[in-house]
A and B are shown apart, each in its own frame.
Chain A
Amino acid sequence: MAGYRLAGGGGRVDRSKVLRFRFDGETITGFAGDTIASALLASGRLMVARSFKYHRPRGVFSAGSEEPNALVTIGEAARTTPNVQTTMAEASEGLVVRSQNAWPSLNNDFGALTGLLSPFLAAGFYYKTFIGPFRGAWMLYEPIIRRAAGMGAATREPDPDRYEHAHGFCDVLVVGGGPAGLAAALAAGRSGARVILVDENAEFGGASVLDTATIDGSDTAGWVRSAVAELAVLQNVRLLRRTAVYGYYDGNVLAGTERLPAGDAAAPRERHWRFQARQVILATGAMERPIVFAGNDTPGVMLLGAALAYVRHYGVAAGRAVTVFANNDAAWHQAAALAETGITIKAIIDPRDAGPEDSAKTLRAAGTVFYTGHVVTAAEGGKAVSGVVIAQFDSTAGNVSGGATTIDSDSLLVSGGWTPNVNLASQAGEPPVFDSGTGAFIPGTPREAWAAAGAMTGKLALQSAIESGFEVGVETVKSLGFNALPTTFTVENPNQEVGFLPLYEIPSNGPGKAFVDMQHDVKASDVRLARREGFSAPEHLKRYTTLGMAADQGRTSNVNALAIMAAEEGRPIAEVGTTRFRPPYSPVTFGAIVGRATGKHFQPVRRTPMHDWHEKAGADMINVGQWQRPRVYRRPGESVEDAYIREARAVRNSVGITDVSTLGKIDVQGPDAATFLDRVYTNTFSTLPVGKARYGLMLRDDGFLYDDGTTWRLTETRYLMTTTTGNAAGVMALLEFGLAVDWPDLKVALTSLTEQWAGVAIAGPQARALLTKVITDIDFSDKALPFMGVRTGRLGDVDVLVSRLSFSGELAYEVYCGADFGLVLWTTLLEAGEEFDCTPYGLEALGTLRIEKGHVIHDEMDGRTGVHDLGLEKMFSKKKDFVGKPMALRAALTDPGRKRLVGLKSLDGKPIRAGAQLVTGSDPNLPGGSQGQVTSMGYSPAVEAYIALALLERGPERHGETLYAADPVRGLHGPVKVCAPCFYDPDGSRMHG
């Protein structure tokens, strides 16, 4: 029992609202406004966690986002959230909090035995062991290591909560709402600029709470209140609390996440912000730095400023017999402030000769014993601090001299100075530079439009922080053209001294472990070992020891590690440098990053106008890119295969209709439309008469096939181009590129009509009879509307565009109308088609019909095939030039040895599966090498056999050969006969009829 709730105080808690939550089954009582950490401290809990590697007992170390130790799992079942910083998470009624990485219990953790093996588990030990005794032995060790590693356990249930995305546009984004950030926001806000002020904590004010100063006559808390109140009424200022800016991206785009308070079921759990600011003011403050000594991770050891923050914010004292270990004047002031609240400061240990006199006076009066010229060499006690070992320190030599004394104590508060928070500045700037005033790094030169203010620039004293904030605020808005009025702040601070003796580590020869990175259990000795093994550069040190790579991002560890390395190397810290900082500054919830794009909403669903009809008809809908298309319309008892065979047969025997609305449709207009199409297609479109359509092939620049489709000449200067479903957007972009870059002289306008037009293909011997019934103003006779003819007409009140095209090889038409009338078109055709048993057919039937005809789609045009490979040479104009022609004529693309299109017939009556490889070996165990592959297949009702299309080496020369379709991943191996790719009506008499 160390911490306790003070009788009064605590600006953030509402003592009238008691709340209860559970920690490892025990009920913890707190107040509204408490964090989990403050409530646990108030309850007297010291040990709240076990460490990552050695399972060391750990307590609350800080009061903010730098917390390395006190991580817990909160929530239950699907809401289980591991690795939550108790210092940032607000307590709420009924919350379930559990310790993690401990078995069977936090108090008696089996894993703590690893501490005994620690000499053998030093940095990088795993690179040197677990190698043998045989190849692949690692697979035996790995599961054990994986189970030991990790921190909390994640749930396997989908996250039930909701997240939102918001966009914040502003003139000035101020990151950090401490004294400097508030002053900057005031300066900018008063000028009329659009300002967003964000802070990661639940309240603004930052570290001002640690100062006993007055600003313009109020105490710091009062000044913060009035500043926030002034900002809150400004229409041009937005205040965002609990919002951690995690990433500084190019173009002054920053990203942050806002945690919303629990309890409002209508609110999202978190809100992701994308900020776009003309200027950014970084006022991210500084974090108190620990000092490395033996046992510095023992529960009860805490940052001094954090202890004061717990008093001021939550009315919680860290302990009853407190010692302070510090190397700077600010710490003495804070200790004095603690003493003034009635907390017993037994002793203050400082390596310097003296502390600042004003605070010394206060402390002396409170009975504090001063051990100047001393340092703490160890904290004693395993699961709780019981004593503090001190020794004399020679600050010139930098080493401990003289014997040790132990002070009984239940709480050791440490202050090693302050480390500016340079993370965001480093993300968007040159490397941080060393600053001897803080003994740490401050921001380098900006790469983006930002300016830094306050403690993060090394201006630790309250007055200079506020002044620099205001000044930067004024300059920033002036640079944007706003008028800013100067102002002065009267800061009266009884404690002006800022003395500081850089001190990062108390070298120890004792057995106690001295931690640099507590979250990853990296010890000072690991840093030394890394150097010994050649990993002394900061980037190597980080990677070899994993220092600074934990969830606290090395907030409390980086500078100390660099200082230890520098000392070992006998070089200044500035020369050793620091690692590069990357997003995120704070861990970011994936749900927040993703927002609403989860589950069904992961990506938009594109539905055709007839979609609902297909669903009602029981179609198996299938994703084709973002589109949904009917695969088959299964009747009760039918398999997919039964259904598509029935559908395909209906087309061959009578008539069927299929929804082709997803095809890409591009309106190509202008005096140069014909010239343009001649350049993008391998075949000629300028000679196409008005009222006719033509099948066209498109190549990529590199000469390989890109897309195909029919293009219809509607007038002299207007064409309707259709593309495959998958390439609709790509073809459009390519055509736009051609006009913009290659042929700016061509007068052509392009409009995508893919979603504006619905389309239906009507195929089968009765197609003409059916259409004659419903479109009465078009003469459908072969003479009036020949193959590839295009006509406009009306279906009832609906304008339609009709073309006599055939993908199935039957007499067939495509009819297009405005998307709003797609369903009318569809149902009218079906109703009128009842007498012909008109059958809707899906993708599978479409597939089998086109395979029977040897028509290729993307299965064959897979981006690696050319015109020559697919037997489409007839489409390749020799008379004109077009995109891709020179590259398509390269010898490698016309090599007869290439894999080329063939047909296959199953010889054993079994399906030939797409994806099977073609081999010569009849024995599945001795197949021989692959000579080609099956690209698409189906059962052909016309041939009454399983047939397929395939790409086969020297295919066209091999018709009649027997090969084997090797399909080892599906356990199949069957004989097939190679044949021409067209299985049905090769002279095309049916579709021309």
Chain B
Amino acid sequence: MLIPCPVCGLRDSGEFTTGGDASIVRPAFDDGDEAAWAAAVYDRSNPLGAHEEYWHHVHGCRHWLIVARDTQTHAVFGARLAGAWAGYQSGAPSDKPGPD
């Protein structure tokens, strides 16, 4: 499986670790609502089909990515950077695999 890292280009999934469902609404750190936290920590929609999820490019640029992927076909629809870098678009991420 290949993940289109917005920084590094198309890379093998083995360079990444995953961080699970990115659609979960995580309460703010100062939100003391136990139930809201419990829901975020433990409860998963776990859909068959389209899934937005965190991937961490640990053996690459170390950015956390939000990857849109299909859990049944493994088709990867795209990836964007999470957080402060969310708007970042690389020059033109080549879909060419690997170095020329």
Chains A and B touch (C-beta atoms under 8 A apart) = yes
B41 with A701: CB separation less than 8 A: yes
**Those of B46-100 within 8 Å (CB) of chain A:** 54, 56, 58, 62-64, 73-76, 81-86, 95-99
> Most chain-A CB neighbours within 10 Å: which of B19, B40, B97?
B97
Smallest CB separation, A447 vs chain B (Å) = 6
**Which A residues are in CB contact (< 8 Å) with B17?**
733
In angstroms, Cα B37 to Cα A889, docked, is 12
A240 within 8 A of B: no
Is chain A's binding surface mostly helix, strand, loop or mixed?
A: mixed
Contact partner of A744 among B42, B74, B83, CB < 8 A? B83
Contact of B29 among A277, A740, A742 (CB under 8 A): A742
Are the C-beta atoms of A889 and B98 separated by less than 8 Å? Answer: no
Interface assignment of A535: CB less than 8 Å from any CB of chain B: no
Segment of A90-98, A385-393, A879-887, A935-943 engaged in the interface with chain B: A879-887
User: Are A887 and B37 in touch, CB under 8 angstroms?
Assistant: yes
Identify 14 residue pairs between A and B in the complex whose beta-carbon atoms are under 8 Å apart, listed by A's number.
A169-B98, A251-B74, A278-B96, A447-B73, A702-B42, A736-B56, A736-B62, A737-B56, A737-B64, A740-B84, A740-B85, A743-B29, A885-B32, A886-B34
User: Quick one: given A277-B97, A741-B54, are A736 and B64 in contact (CB under 8 Å)?
Assistant: yes
Closest-CB distance, A676 to chain B (whole angstroms):
10
Judging by beta carbons under 8 Å apart, are B98 and A167 in contact? yes
Q: How many residues of B contact A (CB 8 A)?
A: 41
Are B1 and A253 in touch, CB under 8 angstroms? yes
Asked if B26 contacts A741 (CB within 8 A), the reply is yes
Q: Which residues of A contact B63 (CB under 8 A)?
A: 740
Q: Are B2 and A251 in contact (CB-based, < 8 A)?
A: yes
Query: CB-CB contacts of A938-965 with B at 8 A, as 1s and 0s?
Result: 0000000000000000000000000000
A98 to B64, CA, bound (A): 55
A739 and B1 within 8 A (CB): no
Query: Which residues of A sit under 8 angstroms from B32, Cβ to Cβ?
Result: 881, 885-886
CB of B82 within 8 A of CB of A886, answer no
Select B34's contact among A252, A737, A889, beta carbons within 8 Å: A889
Which residues of A sit under 8 angstroms from B19, Cβ to Cβ? 737
Q: Which 4 A-B pairs have the closest CB atoms?
A: A251-B2, A740-B83, A169-B98, A744-B83
Given A251-B2, A733-B58, A885-B32, A741:B64 Cβ within 8 A: yes
Count of inter-chain pairs, beta carbons less than 8 A: 89
Taken together as a complex, chains A and B put the C-alpha atoms of A882 and B95 apart, in Å, by 41
Contact pattern, A 426-456, Cβ under 8 Å of B = 1, otherwise 0: 0000000000000000000001000000000
Instruction: Identify which of B27, B34, B85 contacts A890 (C-beta below 8 A).
Output: B34
Determine the chain A residues whose CB is within 8 A of the CB of B27 once the complex forms: 886
Q: Which residue of chain B has its CB nearest to the CB of A885?
A: B32
Minimum CB–CB distance for A595 against chain B, Å: 13
A278, B27: Cα distance in complex, Å? 41
- Chain B residues within 8 Å of A252, by CB: 2, 97
Confirm or deny: B43 has a beta carbon within 8 angstroms of a beta carbon on chain A: no
A740 to B84, CA, bound (A): 6
Whether A739 pairs with B84 at a CB distance below 8 angstroms is: yes
Q: Does A276 make an interface contact (CB < 8 A)?
A: yes
**Residues of A close to B1: CB separation below 8 A:** 249-251, 253
A652 interface contact, C-beta 8 A:
no
How many residues on the A side are at the interface (Cβ–Cβ under 8 A)? 33
B56 and A276 form a contact (CB under 8 A):
no
Q: How far is the CA of A740 from the CA of B95 in the complex (A)?
A: 25
Question: Please, how many angstroms separate the alpha-carbon atoms of A249 and B54 in the complex?
Answer: 21
A791 within 8 A of B: no
Instruction: Tell me the residues in window 864-914 of chain A with beta carbons closer than 8 Å to chain B beta carbons.
Output: 881-883, 885-887, 889-890
**Complex interface bits, B1-43 against A, C-beta within 8 A gives 1, otherwise 0:** 1100000001011000101000000110111111001101110
B2 and A250 form a contact (CB under 8 A) = yes
* Nearest B-chain residue to A732, judged by Cβ: B62
Instruction: Determine the distance from Cα of A702 to Cα of B39 in the docked complex, in whole angstroms.
Output: 11
- Bound complex: CA A276 to CA B13 (Å): 12
Extra inter-chain contacts (15) besides given A250-B74, A886-B37, CB under 8 Å: A169-B97, A249-B1, A250-B1, A276-B12, A278-B96, A447-B73, A701-B37, A702-B42, A733-B56, A737-B19, A739-B84, A740-B82, A744-B84, A881-B31, A886-B33
CA distance in complex: A278, B10 (Å):
11
Residue from the list A739, A885, A890 in contact with B83, Cβ < 8 A: A739
The answer to whether B98 touches A276 (Cβ under 8 A) is: yes
CB-nearest residue of chain B relative to A702? Answer: B41
Say yes or no: B30 contacts A741, CB within 8 Å: no
CB of A679 within 8 A of chain B?
yes
B24 CB to closest chain A CB, in angstroms? 10
Flag if B38 contacts A883 (CB, 8 Å): no
In the assembled complex, the Cα of A802 lies from the Cα of B73 at a distance in Å of 54
Residues of the A chain whose Cβ atoms lie less than 8 Å from the Cβ of B40: 701
Do residues A744 and B98 form an inter-chain contact, with CB atoms below 8 A? Answer: no
CA distance in complex: A889, B35 (Å): 12
Q: Are B31 and A886 in contact (CB under 8 A)?
A: yes
Mark out the residues of chain A between 183 and 208 whose CB falls within 8 Å of any chain B CB in the assembled complex.
none
Contact of A737 among B33, B42, B54 (CB under 8 A): B54
Given contacts A736-B56, A741-B54, contact A882 B73 (CB under 8 A): no
Given the known inter-chain contacts A737-B56, A740-B83, please indicate yes or no for A253 contacting B12, CB distance below 8 A. Answer: yes
Q: Within 8 Å CB of A887, what residues of B?
A: 34, 37-38, 41
Q: Is B2 in contact with A741, judged by CB distance below 8 angstroms? A: no
Indicate if the CB atoms of A276 and B97 lie closer than 8 Å: yes
B23 smallest CB distance to A (angstroms): 12
Of B31, B37, B73, chain A has the most CB atoms within 10 Å of the CB of B37
Q: Nearest residue in B to A194 (C-beta to C-beta)? A: B100
Which residue from chain B places its CB closest to the CB of A739 in the assembled complex? B83
A745 and chain B: residue at smallest CB distance? B84
Contact indicator per residue, chain A 664-701, by CB within 8 Å of chain B (1) or not (0): 00000000000000010000000000000000000001
Q: How far is the CA of A890 from the CA of B83 in the complex (A)?
A: 30
